């Protein structure tokens, strides 16, 4: 199975044999790959019945759980890595959840679309419209994304909370790194990956 | 076409078998049964590798007759016919399904109605108190007898789910997967309280006679009926009852009693009366005590994860949104413990308005989940994985 571009990158950032908790695991593709290729012991949380069936069909350990109700049922330090891909912007309490992720896991890995990307800025600035793009395909009225942020916003939150940024990858719409992005990441990257550690 | 459809997913006629265990069985409370019998049924074919067997564990008032019909004109099929059959969630085209009546039951297995060889009279209230672990031990003897080394799955709802869990703990290498439905790792105080009210309903029936009603040729019908009515209310949800009965006045469909005003009363009377005719009061006492006592974490300082540490099975833990007798939180405790113990586990909360009784119903999402999970178990066996 070929992985969605962002998941391929996430997989590269996870150590073999790690204990992984995947928040909003979707159809379980990431965990399925991690189990097959990296000997990872993983669990995924999702609330969508269709996703849960797909996970069951591929033998992924999926637990039906709504992230908006928190992850308080997981013990401190029970995972090496808590992953949340493309979901941060859709949860009710992103800050609380990030704190929780670093309680449960030694590290966490968060990916999300960068609202500071120049195309987003242009759509608001020039057209006066809410941005729609490859990473933000929804119209304002039916988007699940209620907490969009820019890479800079996110880093400010990390600084305020004392989260340590261990690794950062800023990519374009094809999930590739580019020289331009290095110049002004918050302007040229459309998607970001953050690997965080505790204060 | 509808006749064909019925044909296609119905098991058809099934037979009852009896397993006779010749040797003694020492129970958890120290008592010994010199020998015992279990009645059981099987559906589907055991393959040549003898690895496609599924064990069905029944709940409080269940028995061996889980699917199919004994006679072509039986009004109803077995109690879990909705889920067991060709192409159904527990697919008898692929699996060999084994269903039995537990020790202490009143449907043919050795229990309070059996003659005690020492006295020549029925055991009655003197039948030893069996617990979930005793059931699992006796079920394993039946599996030995049938030449089943490893079950592809052990499945149960409610009290049956507790047996499935105990199987995974007790015989880790004999359980490939374990499906725990609408169950709990131990009963809550509220749950024990409901059992005690039901027991008191039976005890206070003047025909109960400390359980020696059979000797006096009496049956504590009133008590059993009341116990069932209490139980039944807790197996349904407020919304489910509201939708089914509302405040409709009785139609005479269930009951002709003039003192009954509402449809729901009539229904409860009907259910209670029917139950009191086929269920044994001593078995009811015994089964509810077994329910109350189940707590596999007790021997591990209350640590359920520790209790589950020996298990090797892949688990599926299911609960229903409107079930308040065995709520989703109770299932979540099992799931959390399994994750802490690093076991393979998947879970789902199925939306349903039918309360605890949901586990008996052919709800599409529920049956799809079970079918998908069991298919995966089969695939892993064929890949030589798991």
Contact B256/A at CB under 8 A: no
Q: Where are the alpha helices (DSSP H) in chain A?
A: 5-12, 29-38, 49-58, 94-104, 118-127, 151-161, 179-183, 185-188
Q: What's the whole-number mean pLDDT along residues B11-17? A: 96
Distance CA B224, CA B221 (A): 5
Q: Is A50 on the interface with B (CB under 8 A)?
A: no
Q: How confident is the model at residue A177 (pLDDT cuts 50, 70, 90)?
A: confident
pLDDT tens, position by position, B66-102 = 999 999 999 999 999 999 999 999 999 999 999 999 9
Instruction: Take residue A144 and report the two structure tokens written for it.
Output: 């699940």
Nearest to residue B90, comparing CAs of B290, B364, B373? B373
- Report the CATH number at residue A27: 3.40.50.150
A50: nearest CA partner in chain B: B365
CA B366-B369-B372 angle, to 5 degrees, is 145
The Cα A85–Cα B285 span in angstroms is: 52
In this prediction the ipTM stands at: 0.93
Starting at the edge strand found earlier in the chain, the sheet holding A62-64 runs A62-64, A41-46, A19-23, A79-85, A105-113, A191-197, A164-171
Q: Identify the domain containing residue A78 by its residue range.
A: 5-197
Q: What is the structure's pLDDT at B255?
A: 61
Residue B4 has pLDDT above 50, yes or no: no
Domains for chain B: give ranges and CATH numbers.
2-186+294-383 (3.40.50.1820), 192-288 (1.10.1740.110)
For the stretch B367-380, pLDDT in tens is 999 999 999 999 99
Q: What is the mean pLDDT of residues A124-142?
A: 92
B339:A74 CB<8 A: yes
- Mean pLDDT for all residues in chain B: 94
B123 three-state secondary structure: coil
Over residues A165-172, mean pLDDT: 94
Residue range A70-79: average pLDDT?
97
Partner B contacted by A18 (CB < 8 A): no
| Cα B147 from Cα B199, distance rounded (Å) | 39
Give me B277's structure tokens: 């005719």
Q: Report residue B386's pLDDT band, with 50, 70 and 90 as the boundaries.
A: very low
Q: Per-residue pLDDT averaged across A92-107, rounded? A: 98
pLDDT interval class at A41 (50, 70, 90): confident
In angstroms, the CA A185 to CA B372 distance is 44
The backbone torsions φ and ψ at residue A62, rounded to the nearest 5 degrees and listed phi first, read -115, 135
Percent of chain A clearing pLDDT 70 (strictly above):
99
pLDDT at A199 over 90: no
Interface test with A, best of B317, B346, B371 (most A CBs within 10 A): B346
Angle (deg, nearest 10), helices B263-278 and B221-235: 120
Q: Which residue, B67, B65, B99, B70, is CA-closest to B84?
A: B67
What percent of chain A is helix, strand and coil (3-state, nearest 5)? 40, 25, 40
Nearest partner of B363 among B240, B183, B224, judged by Cα: B240
* pLDDT range class, residue B259, cuts 50, 70, 90: confident
Inform me whether the C-beta atom of residue A72 falls under 8 Å from chain B C-beta atoms: no
Catalytic residue flag (residue B323): yes
> What is the domain count for chain A?
1
Alpha-carbon distance B305 to nearest alpha carbon in chain A (angstroms): 12
Compute CA A184 distance to the chain's CA centroid, rounded to the nearest angstrom. Answer: 21
pLDDT of B2: 41
């Amino acid at each position: 199975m070929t992985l969605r571009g962002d998941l391929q990158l996430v997989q590269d950032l996870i150590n073999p044999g790690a204990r992984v908790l995947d928040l909003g695991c979707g159809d379980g593709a990431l965990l399925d790959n991690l189990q097959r290729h990296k000997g990872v012991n993983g669990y995924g949380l999702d609330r969508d019945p269709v996703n849960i069936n797909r996970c069951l069909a591929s033998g992924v350990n999926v637990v039906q759980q709504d992230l908006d109700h928190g992850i308080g049922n997981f013990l401190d330090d029970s995972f090496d890595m808590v992953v949340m891909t493309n979901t941060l912007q859709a949860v009710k309490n992103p800050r609380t959840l990030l704190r929780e992720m670093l309680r449960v896991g030694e590290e966490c890995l968060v990916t999300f679309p960068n609202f500071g990307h120049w195309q987003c800025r242009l759509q608001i600035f020039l057209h006066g419209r809410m941005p729609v793009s490859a990473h933000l395909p929804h119209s304002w009225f039916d988007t699940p994304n209620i907490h969009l942020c820019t890479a800079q916003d996110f880093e400010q939150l990390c600084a305020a909370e004392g989260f340590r940024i261990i690794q950062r990858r800023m990519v374009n719409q094809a999930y590739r790194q580019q020289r331009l992005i290095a110049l002004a990441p918050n302007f040229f990257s459309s998607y970001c990956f953050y690997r965080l550690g505790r204060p | 076409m509808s006749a064909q459809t019925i044909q296609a997913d119905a098991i058809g006629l099934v037979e009852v078998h009896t397993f006779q265990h010749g040797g003694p069985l020492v129970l958890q409370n120290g008592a010994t049964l010199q020998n015992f019998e279990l009645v059981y049924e099987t559906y589907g074919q055991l393959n040549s590798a003898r690895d496609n067997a599924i064990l069905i564990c029944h709940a409080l008032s269940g028995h061996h007759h889980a699917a199919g019909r004994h006679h072509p004109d039986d009004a109803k099929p077995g109690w879990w016919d909705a889920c067991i059959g060709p192409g159904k969630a527990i697919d008898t085209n692929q699996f060999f399904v084994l269903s039995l009546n537990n020790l202490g039951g009143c449907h043919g297995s050795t229990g309070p109605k059996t003659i005690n060889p020492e006295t020549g009279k029925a055991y009655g209230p003197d039948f030893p108190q069996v617990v979930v672990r005793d059931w699992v031990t006796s079920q394993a003897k039946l599996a030995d007898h049938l030449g089943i080394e490893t079950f592809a799955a052990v499945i149960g709802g409610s009290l049956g789910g507790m047996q499935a869990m105990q199987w995974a703990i007790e015989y880790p290498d004999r359980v490939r997967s374990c499906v725990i439905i609408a169950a709990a790792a131990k009963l809550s105080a509220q749950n024990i309280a409901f059992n005690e009210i039901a027991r008191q309903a039976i005890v206070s029936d003047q025909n109960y006679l400390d359980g020696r009603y059979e000797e006096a040729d009496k049956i504590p019908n009133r008590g059993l009926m009341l116990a069932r009515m209490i139980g039944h209310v807790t197996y349904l949800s407020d919304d489910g009852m509201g939708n089914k009965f509302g405040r409709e006045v009785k139609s005479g469909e269930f009951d002709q009693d003039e003192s009954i005003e509402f449809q729901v009363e009539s229904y409860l009377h009907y259910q209670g009366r029917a139950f009191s005719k086929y269920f044994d009061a001593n078995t009811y006492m015994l089964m509810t005590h077994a329910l109350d006592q189940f707590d596999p974490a007790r021997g591990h300082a209350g640590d359920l994860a520790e209790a589950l540490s020996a298990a090797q099975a892949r688990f599926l833990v299911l609960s229903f949104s409107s079930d308040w007798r065995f709520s989703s939180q109770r299932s979540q405790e099992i799931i959390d413990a399994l994750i802490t113990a690093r076991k393979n586990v998947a879970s789902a909360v199925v939306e349903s308005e039918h309360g605890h009784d949901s586990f008996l119903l052919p709800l599409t999402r529920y049956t799809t989940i079970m079918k998908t999970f069991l298919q995966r178990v089969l695939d892993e066996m064929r890949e030589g994985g798991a």
